[in-house]
Amino acid sequence: MRLTRRTFLGSAAATLALPRVGHAAVEELRPSPVNLQILPPDYPTTDVWGYGGMPGPEIRLPQGARLDRRLVNGLAQPTTIHWHGLRLPNAMDGVAGVTQDSVAPGGSFDYGFDLKDAGTYWYHPHDRSYEQVGRGLAGALIVTEADAPEVDRDEALVLQDWRMQPTGEMVEDFGALHDMAHAGRIGNYVTANGQSYIARDLPLHARLRLRLINAASARIMQIVHSGFAGWTVAEDGHPLEAPVALPDVLVLGPGQRVDVIVDVAATGDATAYLGLIEGDSAAVLYEVTPTSAERDAALAAPAPLPPNPLPPLGDLAAARAAEVRIEGGAMGGMTAARADGVERPMQDLVEMGLVWALNGAAGMPDAPIATVSPGETLRMPLINDTAWPHVMHLHGHPFRVIDGDRPAGPWRDSVLVMPDTRTEIAFRAEEPGDWLFHCHMLDHSASGMMHWVKVA
Ligand code: C2O
Ligand code: CU
């Protein structure tokens, strides 16, 4: 008898339903359509896609622990889960069509790997992500240090950007060419952990560690603050060598994270808040109403976070360089690019939904940017020849911005590259496999800004 996939899945499900002695059930992440309050409380609810609530359940595990999750697809389209920013085996990276087959509706996939690095990471689908992330699929993944700085409160803020109608309907215009060729699908409403804003009552001088995650498809978030005194301690999960005083504006491109440690310092009737710049005003994302102090004065400045066990960058002067030239988009003047291995004029590309190119290739090319061996250092000068900012993200390998032969920035996994600028990054290759390098403005990656590096 021929065994079809459906029969096979059915019998597998039946087996799983039997109680198993001595085996804890694997926790599930089940993306599915769900109706939730997304707009402020006095508005109607919205049909979104979520892993249960909004955002997805926060995964919080100690450094060195193993993460095990079963993806069970409750959507009507295939999906995967990508663990953004983590160093892990390539087969666990969750990239549809590259590191795994996409998981069909009703199907499942088991992810399991060790958490090497502490910090603030996140998870999201890596199939049609411009739609799936845009409809709400994202969650925080927090890996805690054994030796964490003392704080009164530690919380992640997953920032999501929605294109909404006042009736509560989401504007369902995913994949529109105009958005793709411009700044991406920027919404008109930003939430923090699925709410219009978060309000807390905390004592004056209370110390908070806030982990901001930009889970938007396209919006570069500029976050101002008032009534907090503090420091930036980590970017994209990785500790800064030393805490730096909180800047007036925190800038987070899509996919990027920042950890801040802040003390409630607002006095009188003032509140302490983080606000998102929108035009010439700021919308409150997180607000603390100070209550009476439980300590006489603010705590002393925090020590640096313990560094992650990253391999050193190695000898930059001796390292190979592989340039990445970013072209295309509106006002970019791109006239042709390769797609599916064929050089095509712009008009044909547009018909294929492709408007950007990396090194002359629009969409995932057959050959990588470079093939590097494990342990090798690769420099990548990124040349933005477009009229738009991009946030370039490398899978599986934290990198640093470099200046000549010296590191010039912290470890991170996504970097904003402004129009008509050149930014050079370098990383040390580790796990073998095909690792994506793409723009994390998800409409941009879907319309051409998708490439890869081979480690072999
Ligand atoms: Cu956050 Cu390739 O992804
Ligand atoms: Cu981009």
pLDDT at 431: 98
Please report whether residue 280 resides in a domain.
Answer: yes
Please report whether residue 305 resides in a domain.
Answer: no
Answer yes or no: do 154 and 232 share one domain.
yes
> Residues 214, 252: contact at Cβ < 8 Å?
yes
Q: Tally helices (H) and strands (E) across the chain.
A: 5, 34
Average pLDDT (334-344) is 97
Answer yes or no: do 271 and 336 share one domain.
no
Average pLDDT (146-164) is 97
> Residues 413, 236: contact at Cβ < 8 Å?
yes
Q: Each residue of 7-37: pLDDT tens digit?
A: 222 233 333 444 444 556 899 999 999 999 9
CA atoms of 154 and 152, how far apart (whole Å): 7
Answer yes or no: do 285 and 389 share one domain.
no
Answer yes or no: do 334 and 273 share one domain.
no
Answer yes or no: do 412 and 350 share one domain.
yes
Average pLDDT (400-413) is 97
Q: Which helix (H) or strand (E) holds 408?
A: strand 406-412
Please report whether residue 297 resides in a domain.
Answer: no
Q: What is the number of the ligand closest to the CA of 93?
A: 1
Nearest CA among 326, 452, 316 for reference residue 396: 452
Please report whether residue 6 resides in a domain.
Answer: yes
pLDDT at 286: 98
Q: Which helix (H) or strand (E) holds 194?
A: none
Distance, first Cα to last Cα, the chain: 41
pLDDT at 14: 36
Please report whether residue 233 resides in a domain.
Answer: yes
pLDDT at 24: 67
Domain that holds residue 265: 2-291
pLDDT at 23: 57
CA atoms of 163 and 219, how far apart (whole Å): 11
What separation in Å is there between the alpha carbon of 375 and the centre of ligand 2?
Answer: 29
Mean pLDDT (the chain) is 94
110 has a pLDDT exceeding 50: yes
Answer yes or no: do 259 and 117 share one domain.
yes
Nearest residue (by CA) to ligand 1, atom 1, is 84
> Residues 434, 428: contact at Cβ < 8 Å?
no
% residues pLDDT > 70 (the chain): 95
- The domain tally of the chain equals 2
Please report whether residue 308 resides in a domain.
Answer: no
Please report whether residue 379 resides in a domain.
Answer: yes
Candidate from 24-28, 273-277, 341-345, 364-368 with smallest mean pLDDT: 24-28
Q: Each residue of 177-231: pLDDT tens digit?
A: 999 999 999 999 999 999 999 999 999 999 999 999 999 999 999 999 999 999 9
User: Residue 287's domain is classified under what CATH number?
Assistant: 2.60.40.420
Q: Each residue of 157-185: pLDDT tens digit?
A: 999 999 999 999 999 999 999 999 999 99
Answer yes or no: do 56 and 174 share one domain.
yes
Answer yes or no: do 266 and 374 share one domain.
no
CA atoms of 321 and 241, how far apart (whole Å): 26
pLDDT at 25: 85
Tell me the pLDDT band of 106, cut-offs 50, 70 and 90. Answer: very high
Is 85 near ligand 1, meaning CB less than 6 Å away? no
pLDDT at 321: 98
Answer yes or no: do 257 and 356 share one domain.
no
Is 438 near ligand 1, meaning CB less than 6 Å away? yes
Q: Each residue of 58-83: pLDDT tens digit?
A: 999 999 999 999 999 999 999 999 99
Is 436 near ligand 1, meaning CB less than 6 Å away? yes
pLDDT at 158: 98
pLDDT at 456: 98
Answer yes or no: do 85 and 217 share one domain.
yes
Please report whether residue 332 resides in a domain.
Answer: yes
pLDDT at 103: 98
Answer yes or no: do 286 and 324 share one domain.
no
CB atoms within 5 A of ion ligand 2 belong to 390, 439, 441, 444
Is 451 near ligand 1, meaning CB less than 6 Å away? no
Contacts of residue 10, Cβ cutoff 8 Å, sequence gap at least 6: none
Output Rg (C-alpha) for the chain, integer angstroms. 22
> Residues 187, 278: contact at Cβ < 8 Å?
no
Query: Which ligand 1 atom is at minimum distance from the Cα of 395?
Result: 2
CA atoms of 353 and 10, how far apart (whole Å): 38
Answer yes or no: do 404 and 339 share one domain.
yes
What separation in Å is there between the alpha carbon of 429 and the centre of ligand 1?
Answer: 18
> Residues 164, 47: contact at Cβ < 8 Å?
no
Contacts of residue 425, Cβ cutoff 8 Å, sequence gap at least 6: 379, 380, 382, 392, 394, 399, 400, 401, 402, 415
What separation in Å is there between the alpha carbon of 439 and the centre of ligand 2?
Answer: 5
